[in-house]
């Protein structure tokens, strides 16, 4: 769905004048409420072939694990910009992929249309020469790899959509042995894709799945016996079903599953004409918090040795929404869900996809970054592992998240203004300093005038030279104010690749630390407060 420029003009002309509203954010830096992994940002590489189509559009092109142009000059640059981008290899067709080593059950050929196959495609295979090429890219770019294994191998279909029998690990065993022998550092092995609960296309019962995970853990312990640390075991890579997930943890037992992955497509189908209104509705976006909360509680009760991951999330399913998922407006959903996931102790968040479909971080044909790529990169560079509590003094369409800054002292805020008419002027206060002031007031019975003066002290703490202090601001807006623009502006400057195909320098605006933060309607900002006194971030 796309708005015409004329429609946008009429819409904007009908809007009321921009309003200004002052709010106060109170950040508690004394303790973290959650913690992510260092490499929280993750992107997927999928198996979908070029003839995977939705809504009479085939948006995948040649972006499959099997045929992506790994030597494209932009590809290495966009991965290297993250330093250690986690890449998850997986997707709907992974449970139909064999590994071309040892004795195969089926001929090794590319995916082909097959009505009798899962999702309308035949089985396929990963040749070891291709695996070598992929690992050359990963090594060159510093990527951390999570590989999704075929969890249907050797099973039989009991009835439509339901599979049973033990997993045959022989093919995966040979593949993993080859991987170790070649020195390829797979960080984690994920077992299966969307087979949990009632499954998507296929399902496996939790009892059987748990037994197979114990077998997989034994294989990893054997093959990686001389490695420390060993790769993590990740499962089930499906949609959250509370009873199924709980039973999986109970059956597999302590020390088997390191991370529980779940998938999220909370915006509905990519063809939904209301996709943009969903993205810009914070109340609608809030609905997914129930899933985060229930998964966290399920793990606490049944398997506290594990931690949650979002293993795949593309917003809108069926390859995303054309003209929406690859444009500026999608970052309202994406960044809000990153912030929400982190608050619920999600360790890693994998975006569907790095490239491919309408929701790729990169353009399918040109490999040029879409707006969400820069949203992910800024999060990766600015937001640290520690998640902090943040309160706002009045309910509003202003979304706010606070983290310890990455790689340095201080705190970084993510501010998302969902309002199309309100400019927010934001003052930031430190809960720790507020507590100190209250205590001082009680102990010393200070005068009203002195207390009033103390309230003017900024969040930076005592003894700092306020005149010389600056904060960093990264304001994100769309080109020409068009929400469906594929060009994102950073502080008013278009984010375009350099002439040699490298990522542009992401320069902040430097602003006096005591001035209010101003965030325009329908815009997003990262704000780095380098002198915020946050003991939990040290």
Distance CA 32, CA 171 (A): 43
Active-site pick, 35, 98, 190, 194:
194
- Let me know: does 145 contact 90? Beta carbons within 8 Å: no
Q: What does the CA dihedral 196, 364, 368, 12 come to, rounded to 10 degrees?
A: -80
Say if CB 509 and CB 381 are below 8 A apart: no
Which two three-digit tokens encode residue 328?
């500026």
Per-residue tokens: 24: 């106060």
CA distance 526 to 362: 22
What CA dihedral angle connects 376, 356, 135 and 73, to 10 degrees? Answer: -80
| Residue 172, helix vs strand vs coil | helix
* Integer Cα distance of 466 and 455 in angstroms: 15
Using only C-alpha atoms, what is the Rg of the chain?
24
Residue 83 φ then ψ, to 5°? 75, -55
The residue annotated as part of the active site, out of 312, 446, 472, 473, is: 312
How do 232-238 and 186-191 pair as beta strands?
Answer: parallel
Give the integer Cα–Cα distance in Å for 192 and 94.
7
Q: Return the number of other C-beta atoms located less than 10 Å from residue 173's C-beta.
A: 18
- Establish whether 194 is a catalytic residue: yes
What the block records as the tokens of 301 is 């009760």
Copy the structure tokens of residue 375: 């949203």
Rounded to the nearest 5°, which phi and psi values hold at 459?
A: -70, -10
How far apart, in whole angstroms, are the C-alpha atoms of residue 180 and residue 182? 5
Rounded to 10 degrees, what is the CA torsion of 291, 292, 295, 300? -150
Tokens representing 154? 């050797």
Per the CB < 8 A criterion, the answer to whether 337 and 343 are in contact is: no
Which are the catalytic amino acids? 194, 312
């Amino acid at each position: 769905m796309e708005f015409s420029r004329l429609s946008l003009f009429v819409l904007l002309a009908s809007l009321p004048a921009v309003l200004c509203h002052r709010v106060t954010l109170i950040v508690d830096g004394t303790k973290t409420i959650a913690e992510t992994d260092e490499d929280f940002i993750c992107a997927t590489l999928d198996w979908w072939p070029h003839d995977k189509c939705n809504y009479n559009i085939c948006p995948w092109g040649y972006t499959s694990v099997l045929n992506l142009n790994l030597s494209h000059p932009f590809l290495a640059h966009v991965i290297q910009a993250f330093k250690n981008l986690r890449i998850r290899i997986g997707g709907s067709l992974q449970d139909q992929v064999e590994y071309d080593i040892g004795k195969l059950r089926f001929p090794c050929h590319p995916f082909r249309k097959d009505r009798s196959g899962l999702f309308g495609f035949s089985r396929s295979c990963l040749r070891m020469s291709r695996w070598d090429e992929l690992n050359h890219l990963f090594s060159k770019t510093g990527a951390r790899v999570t590989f999704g294994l075929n969890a249907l191998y050797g099973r039989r279909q009991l009835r439509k959509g339901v599979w049973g029998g033990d997993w045959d690990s022989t093919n995966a065993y040979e593949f993993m042995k080859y991987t170790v022998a070649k020195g390829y550092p797979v960080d984690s092995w994920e077992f299966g894709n969307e087979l949990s609960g009632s499954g998507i296309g296929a399902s496996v019962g939790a009892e059987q799945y748990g037994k197979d995970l114990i077998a997989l853990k034994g294989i990893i312990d054997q093959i990686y016996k001389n490695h420390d640390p060993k790769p993590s075991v990740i499962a089930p890579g499906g949609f959250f079903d509370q009873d199924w997930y709980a039973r999986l943890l109970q059956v597999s037992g302590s020390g088997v599953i390191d991370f529980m992955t779940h998938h999220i497509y909370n915006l509905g189908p990519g063809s939904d004409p209301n996709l943009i209104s969903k993205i810009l509705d914070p109340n609608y976006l809030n609905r997914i918090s129930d899933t985060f909360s229930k998964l966290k509680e399920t793990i606490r009760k049944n398997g506290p040795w594990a931690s949650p991951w979002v293993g795949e999330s593309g917003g809108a399913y069926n390859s995303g929404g054309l003209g929406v998922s690859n444009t500026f407006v999608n970052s309202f959903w994406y960044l809000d869900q990153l912030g929400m996931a982190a608050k619920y102790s999600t360790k890693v968040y994998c975006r569907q996809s790095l490239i491919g479909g309408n929701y790729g971080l990169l353009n399918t044909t040109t490999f040029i970054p879409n707006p969400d790529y820069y949203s992910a990169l800024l999060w990766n560079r600015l937001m640290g592992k520690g998640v902090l509590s943040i309160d706002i003094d009045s309910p509003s369409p202003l979304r706010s998240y606070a983290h310890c800054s990455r790689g340095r002292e201080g705190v970084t805020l993510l501010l998302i203004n969902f309002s199309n008419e309100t400019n927010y002027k934001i003052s930031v206060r430190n809960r720790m300093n507020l507590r100190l002031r209250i205590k001082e007031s009680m102990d010393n019975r200070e005068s009203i005038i002195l207390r009033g003066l103390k309230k003017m002290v900024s969040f930076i703490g005592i003894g700092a030279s306020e005149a010389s202090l600056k904060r960093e601001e990264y304001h994100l807006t769309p080109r020409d104010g068009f929400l469906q623009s594929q060009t994102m502006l950073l502080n008013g400057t278009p984010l375009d690749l350099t002439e040699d195909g490298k990522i542009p320098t992401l320069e902040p605006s430097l602003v006096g630390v005591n001035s209010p933060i101003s965030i325009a309607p329908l815009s997003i900002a990262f704000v780095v407060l380098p002198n915020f006194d946050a003991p939990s971030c040290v």
